[in-house]
Amino acid sequence: MKQKKAFFSTNLGIILTGLFIGIVAPTLQKFGNPKNMGICVACFERDIAGALGLHRASVVQYLRPEIPGFVLGSLIAALVYREFRARGGSAPILRFTLGFFAMIGALAFLGCPWRAWFRLAVGDLNAIVGLIGLFVGIGIGILFLKRGFSLGRSYKMKPVAGWMMPLIMIALLLFLIAKPLFGADGTGPIFFSESGPGSLHAPVLMSLGLTIVFGFLAQRTRFCTVGAMRDIALMKDFHLSYGVIALFVGALIMNLIYGQFKIGWQGQPVSHNNALWNFLGMALSGLAYCLGGGCAGRQLFLSGEGDTDAGTFVIGMIIGAAFAHNFGLAGSPDKLVEEQMVIGGISTAGMIAVVIGIVICIGIGFLSRDKIESRA
Amino acid sequence: MAENRIDARGLSCPQPVLLVANAVLKNEFPIVVLVDGMTAEENIRRYAESKNLKVSINHHDDEAEITIAN
């Protein structure tokens, strides 16, 4: 037990974890998940929001089992290693807001930090612009952290609070299996896309099983794509980044093996070539994740080990996705129309939303200083 | 010199290790940090070991007291 614990916190532990998800994502794509989106936390939460009817973008509605898989895998690890601790109360509404705008930014770019790396590993060069934006956003977050940014302490809660997110995830899985139909006009309340990315998915048990394993590993190793960039800039600590590099290398190799690799800027699947908004969208996301204490995936793993503040961030992301589609804020991909490449991008409303998000997140950064000084 | 106590319980990443790093820069040893999660504990231990500092950890219930000395 003690040795295992030590193993997971080593560099090799995090490299193997990153490699695992790097192999799994292109494999899920091979087996049916959307193109260049083997796994994407933001996109999949958006699909869940759609499946629940919170938005009616008919091409992105599916109860993705990967999201429950991550939370439940982390729950299992936390229970096995006695790390499950119900906790919360660290500015929940600010965490909700950060999650909300993390999603607005992610959907302007069309992906979470994981998908940015996966998109790069499949040859989508727009991901480079997104990753630079992510790094800049995290950099702004670091400036706030250095001047004492804090959302305040979380406190121990009753275990039932920590179980809420896992229970919600189990409910989503039950909806996925039962596909209940008792909506007003004979459709819903659960919606499944008949075309578009939402209609593409790998076998449920395969997605669920592999993501439970990854959730377990990620809980043990604290895998985090935002923490990776943050720790390098803040403390020259490369530990978490080894996991991200392994994710990228694993995905690149698998995409070459599967013949999924296609390099280019335009017409990449579920991607647009509008550099400015790829950059700004991910900068907004990066700032929100950095202030929220972890990337989209990490918030799921924390939710699984009883962190209700992370759970609030996740719910903020899901609601943010609903708003993004209902208000027409999300990016639209490049499209071939009569042999002509039409470059996608985001609507004027989307641009305004991203700018509002940046202003609000910077405001939260400025106004959330905490004096937790050391006591001599 | 009096020991430097830091209460990092309930703080999100990366604040616990950041507080420790600030204390290390100020050369205020020994540093005693109270944490309530394994992530903060591992981060602080990794940071301190990378600076070749001596780390000892006492666990009680859900919390850990980490002592860092040079």
Q: Would residue A174 count as lying in a domain?
A: yes
End-to-end CA distance of chain A: 37
Cβ contact, residue pair B38, A83, below 8 Å: yes
> At B2, is the pLDDT very low, low, confident or very high (cuts 50, 70, 90)?
low
The mean pLDDT value of chain A amounts to 94
From the CB of residue A194, how many other CB atoms can be counted at a distance below 10 Å? Answer: 10
- H/E stretch holding A79 reads helix A66-80
> At B62, is the pLDDT very low, low, confident or very high (cuts 50, 70, 90)?
confident
Number of structural domains in chain B: 1
> At A185, is the pLDDT very low, low, confident or very high (cuts 50, 70, 90)?
confident
Q: Would residue A372 count as lying in a domain?
A: no
> At A2, is the pLDDT very low, low, confident or very high (cuts 50, 70, 90)?
very low
Residue A367, class by beta-carbon neighbours within 10 Å (0-12 exposed, 13-18 middle, 19+ buried)?
Answer: exposed
CA distance B60 to chain A (A): 13
Distances (CA, A) of A348 to A23, A106, A185, A313: 37, 16, 33, 26
Average pLDDT over residues A267-294: 97
The parent domain of residue A229 ranges over 2-367
Q: Would residue A161 count as lying in a domain?
A: yes
Q: Would residue A376 count as lying in a domain?
A: no
Number of structural domains in chain A: 1
Closest chain A CA to residue B30? A376
Cβ contact, residue pair A87, B10, below 8 Å: yes
The parent domain of residue B34 ranges over 4-69
A339: left (phi over 0), alpha (psi -120 to 50) or beta: left
Best probe of the A interface among B1, B5, B13, by most A CBs < 10 A, is: B13
Best probe of the B interface among A144, A372, A375, by most B CBs < 10 A, is: A372
Q: Would residue A304 count as lying in a domain?
A: yes
Give percent above pLDDT 90 in chain A. Answer: 91
Q: How many CA atoms lie within 13 A of A126 on its CB side?
A: 30
Q: Would residue A374 count as lying in a domain?
A: no
Reading the block at residue A244, the tokens are 């991200």
From the CB of residue A261, how many other CB atoms can be counted at a distance below 10 Å? Answer: 17
**pLDDT score at A218:** 98
**pLDDT score at A184:** 80
Q: Would residue A97 count as lying in a domain?
A: yes
**pLDDT score at A375:** 43
CATH of the domain at B10: 3.30.110.40
Q: Is the ipTM of this complex over 0.90?
A: yes
**pLDDT score at A16:** 97
